[in-house]
Chains A and B, each alone.
Chain A
Amino acid sequence: MGTLPGHVPSKETRMKSGFKRTMAMFAACLLSQGAAAQSGDDTIRKIEEYRQALAGGNPADLWEARGEDLWKKKAGPKNASLETCDLGRGPGVVTGAYAELPRYFADTGRVMDLESRLMHCRMTLQGLSAAEARTRPFGNGTDRSDNEALVAFVTAESKGVKMNVPLSHPKEREAYALGKKMFFFRGGPHDFSCATCHSETGKRIRLQDLPNLTETKDAQRAYTTWPAYRVSQGEMRTFQWRLFDCFRQQRFPELDFASDASIALTTFLARNANGAEFNAPAIKR
């Protein structure tokens, strides 16, 4: 809210956010500002201590164990396990698979992320219907989600692996380009896009640090720490959930599970994390 009435900024300053101008206007109260900033730093340090205290025990382990069970257990009309599911590195290869997703799959002719690929395997290998395979993509207390458990298991098998999402197929490049467009798409009653919160470095929402997903380091750190156990919910949440809930808070309608938009956005964000070590399931607020 930095602009004064009637004030027309020069061409040079115009496109910079109102932030700098406001800071100048607030120069008169630098002392009190300084004090506030200091207490802010102290808060950040203490929040960091909180996060470190949590890191010691991650309940996502419970989802991993259940997911491994689901992966190996025979189930569905075809009474088959998922052990021959091809996640991109060949049938049954789980280790490192998540670090190379989303990617183009020739057998379906489309780009798929982990969750849409798991859906595909549960349909083709186990004989589930599309409706069954997309039932309860996200859990809620005792209504547990098989998808979240499977994702916890598969992603944990990429821990320590460098992100290496391919853009070699034209459809992978198309998904990336579309995902990038969607990232900047403003809509809804609040005019929000992904970029509203995630295109500037060093910003916070309340006390929560916001990764700048247009900048390599932040994009890497953000993507490689999902999925995550969310202590605020007591649930292990996947990357599709992350997108689903961002859009809810953007005041958009509901992002459909395994939809083309979710895969395109995931392709954009996952690819931007290339080169970084994958380090999830993590634990977050």
Chain B
Amino acid sequence: MADPMRIRAKIEGDKTIVRVLMAHEMETGQRRDAAGKVVPAHFIQEVTATHNGKTVLSAQWGPAVSKNPYLQFQFSGAKAGDKVVISWVDSKGDKRTDEATVAA
């Protein structure tokens, strides 16, 4: 299973800024290994972020998103101690869900 995400959610002013790092190879399917063999595509396709069960961001990604993806966005309405949950699903159907507590 993939390593946990690193999620930080912090209130700044009246917004909550969310920063996420995901451990993923994001293989394009166009790279060759040392032996000259094509490395099969393997990349995160869908990302969902929720706060109190409500979706605050959803995304579809292609293989052009960089390895070990970084994502930053911001939303309104959260308070310190709330949970932000991030999930991803990749092109092989592997999944990962992690959460972070909103910090003041």
Listed in ascending order, the chain A residues whose CB lies under 8 Å from chain B are 56-59, 61-62, 65-66, 141-142, 229, 231, 234
Is B41 part of the contact surface with A, judged by Cβ < 8 Å? no
**Beta-carbon contacts under 8 Å, B57-84 to A:** 66-68, 70, 72
A65–B72 contact, CB under 8 A? no
| A56, A59, A66, A142: the one within 8 Å of B68 (CB) | A59
A61–B25 contact, CB under 8 A? no
Complex CA gap A59/B19 in Å reads 11
Is B6 part of the contact surface with A, judged by Cβ < 8 Å? yes
Q: If the complex has contacts A62-B6, A66-B3, are A57 and B25 also in contact, measured as CB distance less than 8 A?
A: no
A56–B6 contact, CB under 8 A? no
- On chain A, the residues within 8 Å of B19 by CB distance are 56-57
| B6, B25, B66, B67: the one within 8 Å of A65 (CB) | B6
One digit per residue, 1 when the CB lies within 8 angstroms of any chain A CB and 0 when it does not, for chain B 17-34 equals 001010101000000000
B6–A61 contact, CB under 8 A? yes
Listed in ascending order, the chain B residues whose CB lies under 8 Å from chain A are 3-4, 6, 19, 21, 23, 25, 66-68, 70, 72
Complex CA gap A155/B69 in Å reads 23
- On chain B, the residues within 8 Å of A61 by CB distance are 6, 21
Chain A interface SS verdict (over half)? loop
Q: List 24 A-B contacts (CB under 8 A).
A: A56-B70, A56-B72, A57-B19, A57-B21, A57-B70, A57-B72, A58-B21, A59-B21, A59-B23, A59-B68, A59-B70, A61-B6, A61-B21, A62-B3, A62-B23, A65-B3, A65-B6, A66-B3, A141-B25, A229-B68, A231-B66, A234-B66, A234-B67, A234-B68
Complex CA gap A92/B7 in Å reads 28
Considering the complex, give the chain A residue whose CB is closest to the CB of B26: A234
Tell me, rounded to whole Å, the shortest Cβ–Cβ distance linking A186 to chain B.
Answer: 30
Further 10 A-B residue pairs, CB within 8 A, beyond A57-B21, A234-B66:
A56-B72, A59-B21, A59-B70, A61-B6, A61-B21, A62-B3, A62-B68, A65-B4, A66-B3, A234-B68
Tell me, rounded to whole Å, the shortest Cβ–Cβ distance linking B36 to chain A.
Answer: 16
Complex CA gap A66/B19 in Å reads 19
Considering the complex, give the chain A residue whose CB is closest to the CB of B71: A57
Complex CA gap A231/B4 in Å reads 20
